[in-house]
């Protein structure tokens, strides 16, 4: 059945965006009014208790243009654009930064949950692509947001459609929560078995990292040699360091890059650490390889020796993340770097090999749970997308 189509601005009294407290000389607080960023908008109900930033009452008043109220719709307009959320009834007032637009809808015409779903429909996704946006760093204007076209069934029909779709959304959220809990289990398991490696409470013998691993540098084969590129060998750079373990990359190499281009394979079970790049301002990405691959010059590979298990090494480094981050410096041209000397001299507790291997086996079990959760989340998302395509046909 077809319904009238309206622009978002036709069913809203306000479309605006936030700003950062720093523009007013204000700072974030340890508690207070939740201050939302793009990552706090996840596709359904906004959860203020998950916010990690807060502002005080006075700052919230200064930023009153972007005060968020129950029933508002939030849309990410910078970074990863097009993520949508709605603010449930009973939520406390919130605020947001410039990466988030808020739309105050006319609830006599459109239900907030329906609006949230309609803004994730295939037609709106197509509109975002048509306006030249992508899923990476980009922007949407408030004018573009206001122009998004939505179907407008009667309110009773809107609520019926919400009931059909919210079940699939709920399954996806449950699967994602299970996945997040599985990810948190491995560091907790590590500390339970070995203690915090930064203080080594169980008194394991310690060694400098260079005594336990071989450090391997990366590089970039000639871009002017087409025979080196678009093969089956992953060529990992910092942008690929989100996957865990490392199995694929955006760019890839051929055997010729290994044979003639100077590229060197990093073996399975090695750890890879980002040692140069602006991401080091807040995070030192650490991953383990599960396939042979090549790394670029912004990364270092730590290839375990006989005394240390690769899985133990990966999670020990993760538990020492705060110490690694404290050793990041700024190069002369402004980029961040983790000096090799700082990394090689890092003190590493070394439990007995049998205990390391027992941890690795338990970590693999948790990883299996994580993968099942990922599969469940993907299946729920496919179900949701199929329903969305049927109910909001472009």
Q: How many domains does the chain have?
A: 2
The reply to whether 25 falls in a domain is yes
User: Considering the chain, what is the average pLDDT of its residues?
Assistant: 88
* Contacting residues for 133 by C-beta, under 8 A, at least 6 apart: 81, 82, 139, 140
The reply to whether 214 falls in a domain is yes
The reply to whether 115 falls in a domain is yes
pLDDT of residue 176: 66
Backbone phi and psi for residue 275, each to the nearest 5 degrees, phi listed first:
-120, 0
212 in the same domain as 73: no
131 in the same domain as 24: yes
DSSP of 145-168: HHT-EEE---HHHHHHHHHHHHHH
Mean pLDDT of 7-11: 93
Mean pLDDT of 41-63: 88
Is pLDDT larger for residue 205 or for residue 181?
Answer: 205
134 in the same domain as 212: no
Band of pLDDT at residue 69, cut at 50, 70 and 90: very high
343 in the same domain as 228: yes
Name, of 94-98, 119-123, 206-210, 333-337, the range with top average pLDDT.
206-210
Asked whether the beta carbons of 317 and 215 are under 8 A apart, the reply is no
Least trusted range by pLDDT, from 64-78, 158-172, 210-224: 158-172
Q: Which range of residues forms the domain containing residue 305? A: 205-350
pLDDT of residue 172: 67
CATH of the domain at 139: 3.90.220.20
149 in the same domain as 11: yes
How far is Cα 346 from Cα 167, in angstroms, rounded to an integer? 49
Domain end point (choices 350, 368, 389): 350
DSSP 93: P
In the beta sheet, which residues pair with residue 16?
Answer: 102
pLDDT of residue 383: 72
Look-up of token digits 């970074």 = 79
107 in the same domain as 28: yes
pLDDT digits (tens, 9 = 90+) for 250-277: 999 999 999 999 999 999 999 999 999 9
The reply to whether 68 falls in a domain is yes
Tokens, residue 30: 């340890």
Nearest of 128, 167, 129, 133 to residue 148 by alpha carbon: 128
pLDDT digits (tens, 9 = 90+) for 187-203: 999 999 999 999 999 99
Which stretches of the chain are assigned E, i.e. beta strand?
A: 5-7, 12-17, 33-36, 54-55, 73-76, 84-86, 95-96, 100-105, 149-151, 206-208, 213-217, 229-236, 251-253, 271-274, 286-288, 294-295, 299-304, 328-330, 336-338, 347-349
Beta carbons within 10 angstroms of residue 259's beta carbon: 10
The reply to whether 96 falls in a domain is yes
Is pLDDT larger for residue 195 or for residue 78?
Answer: 195
């Amino acid at each position: 059945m077809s319904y009238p189509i309206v622009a978002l601005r036709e069913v809203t009294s306000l479309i605006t965006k936030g700003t950062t407290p720093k523009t007013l000389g204000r700072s974030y607080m340890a508690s207070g009014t939740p201050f939302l960023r793009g990552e706090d908008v996840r596709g359904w109900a906004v959860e203020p208790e998950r916010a990690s930033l807060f502002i005080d009452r006075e700052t919230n008043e200064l930023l009153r243009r972007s005060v968020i109220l129950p029933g508002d719709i939030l849309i990410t307009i910078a970074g990863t654009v097009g993520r949508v959320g709605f603010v449930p009834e009973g939520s406390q007032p919130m605020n947001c930064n410039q990466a988030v637009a808020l739309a105050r809808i006319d609830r006599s015409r459109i239900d907030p949950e329906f609006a949230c779903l309609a803004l994730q429909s295939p037609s709106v996704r197509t509109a975002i692509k048509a306006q030249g946006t992508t899923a990476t760093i980009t922007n949407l204007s408030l004018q573009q947001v206001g122009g998004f076209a939505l179907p407008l069934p009667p309110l009773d029909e809107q609520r019926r459609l919400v009931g059909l779709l919210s079940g699939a959304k709920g399954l996806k959220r449950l699967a994602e929560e299970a996945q997040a809990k599985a990810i948190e289990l491995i560091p907790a398991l590590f500390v339970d078995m070995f203690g915090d490696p930064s203080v080594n409470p169980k008194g394991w013998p310690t060694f400098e990292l260079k005594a336990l691993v071989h450090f391997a540098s990366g590089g970039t084969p000639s871009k002017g040699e087409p025979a080196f590129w678009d093969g089956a060998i992953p060529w990992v750079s910092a942008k690929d360091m989100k996957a865990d373990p490392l199995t694929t990359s955006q760019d890839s190499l051929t055997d010729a890059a290994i044979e003639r281009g100077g590229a060197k394979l990093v073996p399975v079970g090695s750890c890879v650490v980002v040692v140069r790049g602006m991401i080091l301002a807040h995070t030192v990405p650490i991953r383990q390889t599960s396939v042979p691959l090549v790394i670029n010059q912004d990364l270092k590979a730590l290839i375990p020796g006989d005394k240390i298990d690769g899985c133990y090494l990966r999670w020990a480094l993760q538990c020492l993340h705060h110490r690694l981050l404290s050793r990041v410096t700024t190069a002369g041209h402004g980029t961040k770097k983790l000096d090799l000397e700082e990394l090689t001299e890092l003190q590493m507790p070394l439990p007995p090999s049998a205990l390391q291997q027992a941890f690795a086996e338990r970590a693999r079990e948790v990883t299996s749970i994580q993968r099942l959760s990922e599969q469940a989340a993907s299946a729920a998302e496919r179900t949701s997308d199929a329903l969305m395509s049927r109910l909001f046909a472009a």
